[in-house]
């Protein structure tokens, strides 16, 4: 299994789930779902709008880093939208657009079937100047997936805390493709 084979389908599956969670929020709170984008789990945490954008940032960064490509300006724009989302949370429709754009980028990258040497060095520089030196495998395992899931889980938790009826099945909808026929409870 290659690193893209592991990461890219995971990004697509979970971006689909995130989109479905936001759709449920809209369906369950007609006219009020956009207000949830300002909700936070704690005062010092980013709001839901940032969590959605940062999940998209993490997926896009994973694609570009593993492919050895420079980040496009659109990624910096998305990151800045996330950083400023406390003041400008946007709408659920805008969040859905960011998710769809990210999913399309990941799906296109997955279709390219690029083989990446797991030992390829990746230097990851944080805005504070901290630099992590990884192999591509370490980056995927120890940074890309955990960071992506952190923002997904925080978005899920914010939506649950706001009263959106989500459960485990909403988190793992992709798993239903693997259910043996006749084994689901009635």
The answer to whether 11 touches 145, Cβ cutoff 8 Å, is: no
CB atoms < 10 A from the CB of 65, how many?
A: 21
* Residue 31's pLDDT band (cuts 50, 70, 90): confident
Instruction: Please state the domain count of the chain.
Output: 1
**Distance linking the first and last C-alpha atoms of the chain:** 36
The structure's pTM equals 0.93
Torsion, CA 149, CA 154, CA 155, CA 156, rounded to 10: 90
Tell whether 184 is covered by a domain: no
The answer to whether 33 touches 25, Cβ cutoff 8 Å, is: yes
Tell whether 77 is covered by a domain: yes
Residues 148 and 11: their CA atoms lie apart, in Å, by: 8
* Residue 119's pLDDT band (cuts 50, 70, 90): very high
- What are the pLDDT digits (tens) for 78-103? 999 999 988 999 999 999 999 999 99
What is the domain range of residue 160? 3-178
What's 153's domain CATH number? 1.20.120.450
- What are the pLDDT digits (tens) for 32-89? 899 999 999 999 999 999 999 999 999 999 999 998 899 999 999 999 999 998 899 9
Tell whether 185 is covered by a domain: no
The answer to whether 116 touches 136, Cβ cutoff 8 Å, is: yes
Tell whether 186 is covered by a domain: no
The answer to whether 52 touches 98, Cβ cutoff 8 Å, is: yes
């Amino acid at each position: 299994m290659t690193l893209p084979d592991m990461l890219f389908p995971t990004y697509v599956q979970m971006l689909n789930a995130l989109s479905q969670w936001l759709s449920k929020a809209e369906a369950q709170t007609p006219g009020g779902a956009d207000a949830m984008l300002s909700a936070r789990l704690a005062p010092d945490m980013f709001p839901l709008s940032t969590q959605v954008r940062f999940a998209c940032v993490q997926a896009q960064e994973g694609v570009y880093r593993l492919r050895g490509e420079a980040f496009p300006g659109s990624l910096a724009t998305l990151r800045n939208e996330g950083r400023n989302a406390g003041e400008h949370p946007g709408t659920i429709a805008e969040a859905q657009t960011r998710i769809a754009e990210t999913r399309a980028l990941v799906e296109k990258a997955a279709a390219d079937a690029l083989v990446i040497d797991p030992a390829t060095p990746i230097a990851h520089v944080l805005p504070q100047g901290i630099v992590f030196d990884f192999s591509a495998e370490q980056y995927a395992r120890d940074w890309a997936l955990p960071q992506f899931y952190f923002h997904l889980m925080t978005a899920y938790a914010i939506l649950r805390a706001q009263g959106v009826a989500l459960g485990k099945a909403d988190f793992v909808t992709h798993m239903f493709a693997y259910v043996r026929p006749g084994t689901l409870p009635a």
